Structure 1
């Protein structure tokens, strides 16, 4: 059951952030037997926040429109804020460091992942200017690596690790609807669409399509950028 249908996404993030602050300020240590429950809750909230959106078509989705009546893009990017909150919970739950965690084996799988080639920026990425700024490079390089793989049950965690490359500076570019930041996000959306999961498909498809429409509408003169979104457009 999607409990988050009772709230809008921004409210959910506010509740999640408040809970995280409470945990940090609590004088009582978190018991080991509670840490897995804490992490599981964070994962479920994150998935629900990613799924929860008001749009039913691409034309109703961000970045073409905003779900907030005052035009605040933060409401549409609140799922990213929830993802940032999960990083804090991951550290608190110490999943990777606790061998008694039910998630420990899954966490250990990250050690077997192929190394990320942070210098990998294919020609079309370079032509679009993604190597020109350190703000773009981590996210762009991660997407370039993921383009060589297929997103499925076994590789999903690796694809979600892209979110760790979204720095505060990159998020500010997304909020400002920077064309290159949007193109990087659209490519990631297109790749995770390969894995048919209820909580992934809706946002990835609708916002991915909306992003391509937005870029074609305002940046059709940028041939390099148009080549970059050829793959997301067909998803």
Structure 2
């Protein structure tokens, strides 16, 4: 099996600006847990060591702070950035050989990444999965990783997540690995820096590819294996629901990068993007399963703009038209891409009907999309446990809960 990346001049290490080997330090017993996980020397500065500060995570000397928790500054890179990411004036495009070196050296701050044989195999498995099951210009995207380190980090994180999905049957409810989280954090840091410099014309496809990968990575950002400690038992202000907040950011980048343009590697997906942006909610209540009418408070006068549950109920009903293991991507993802703004607010408030509809969506699409299944393994059970604990008196809610949970 050949690798989708033609050259591997890179080992799966953290970005470095120089090839000089670091000294080997003996780790201190008093260092923070993040530094111990990353196998680096902690300077033990309080309240935040310099290594955690530069890496964009909250330092954790105590047990109350999770490992590798993104700092508020790192979190705001996606949800509240103040950078101007508008396209700038068109710059001259250098020859290809010059472009590869100058992109990495100047636009990406001389960051280099190296891939060892294991990382190449991980990426190749991910590549083969996408090539076989999804309409996505994966080969072209992977070639961009040679010049855009933030895209390489996103690809590595997603490839590691896919590897995790391969063992999910024997190791259910396993959280993200340290390597996966490290690449995710490095991607968001470098990507934010790149966006703050503006999106040049030659960068539009790599930027959109990275946004696509990150939207999946945010969906996979659920840690821990105990459903009784996962959201909705946790507060809605946690990063567990960042995937719900990502939609607006991704839509802005869609407008800035315009992947529908004829010269884009994503142009063949124009119809797919159009389907994912076009709501089916213009039709009436007859497109919703009658069994959901009462639980969602629907009647003959209900429409998508008058009832926040209307679209979600309609999309869940539509999934019954497909085999569970063969649901088309637009139908599977419509629940996320077309969610009514008020419905998202209800989810954040842990409204029981909104939680029920989310549980029904999970139960029907998890066999078709591997990254949805990874999250559903913990969160679907958590939602059902939560509803049974706090709403066991609501017969309608109990009647519609997925039977397997």
**TM-score (norm: length of structure 1):** 0.80
- 1:29-178 equivalent positions in 2, closer than 5 A: 30-64=199-233, 66=234, 71-96=235-260, 98-109=261-272, 116=280, 118-119=283-284, 120-131=287-298, 134-150=307-323, 155-178=328-351
Q: In structure 1, how many angstroms separate the alpha carbons of the residues matched to 2:280 and 2:240? A: 29
What's the CA shift string for 1:119-161, capped at 9, x where partnerless?
A: 3121111021252661111122122112322455771243112
Q: Which consecutive segments of 4 or more residues in structure 1 shift more than 6 A?
A: 112-115
Q: Distance in 2 between matches of 1:11 and 1:186?
A: 32
Pairwise CA distance, 1:13: 4.6
Give distance in 2, aligned partners of 1:63 and 1:87.
26
Q: Please give the root-mean-square deviation of Cα atoms over the aligned residues, in Å.
A: 3.2
Unmatched 5+ stretches in structure 1: none
| CA distance in structure 2 between the aligned counterparts of 1:126 and 1:108, rounded to whole angstroms | 32
> Mean Cα displacement is larger for which, 142-151 or 179-188?
142-151
How has the CA–CA distance of structure 1 residues 159 and 81 changed in structure 2, closer, same or farther, with 3 Å as cutoff? same
2:367 corresponds to 1:204 = no
Query: CA contact under 8 A between 2:327 and 2:368: conserved in structure 1?
Result: no
Give 1 or 2 for the bigger CA radius of gyration. 2
Whole-Å Cα distance in 2 between the matches of residues 192 and 33 of structure 1? Answer: 36
Q: How much has 1:62 moved relative to structure 2?
A: 0.6
Q: What SS does structure 2 have at the residue aligned with 1:77?
A: helix
Secondary structure of the residue that 2:228 maps to in structure 1? helix
Residues 143/8 of structure 1: CA separation in 2 closer, same or farther (3 Å cut): farther
Contact 1:13–1:81 (Cα < 8 Å) also in 2 = no
Distance 1:90 1:161, change over 3 A: farther
Q: How big is each residue's C-alpha offset from its partner over 1:65-105, in whole Å with a ceiling of 9 and x where there is no partner?
A: x2xxxx45343211211233112111222122x01111121
Change in CA separation of 1:14 and 1:139 when aligned onto 2, cut-off 3 Å: same
Query: For the Cα contact (< 8 Å) 1:124–1:224, is it kept in 2?
Result: no
Q: Equivalents in 2 of 1:177, 1:188: separation in Å?
A: 16
SS of the equivalent of 1:227 reads helix
Kept after mapping to 2: 8 A contact 1:151/1:195: yes
Are 2:388 and 1:216 aligned? yes
Per the alignment, residue 365 of structure 2 pairs with 192
Map Cα deviations across residues 20-71 of structure 1 (whole Å, 9 max, x no partner).
84314x755744322111111101111111112122122221112x2xxxx4
Change (3 A) 1:9 1:110: farther
Shift of 1:9: 9.4
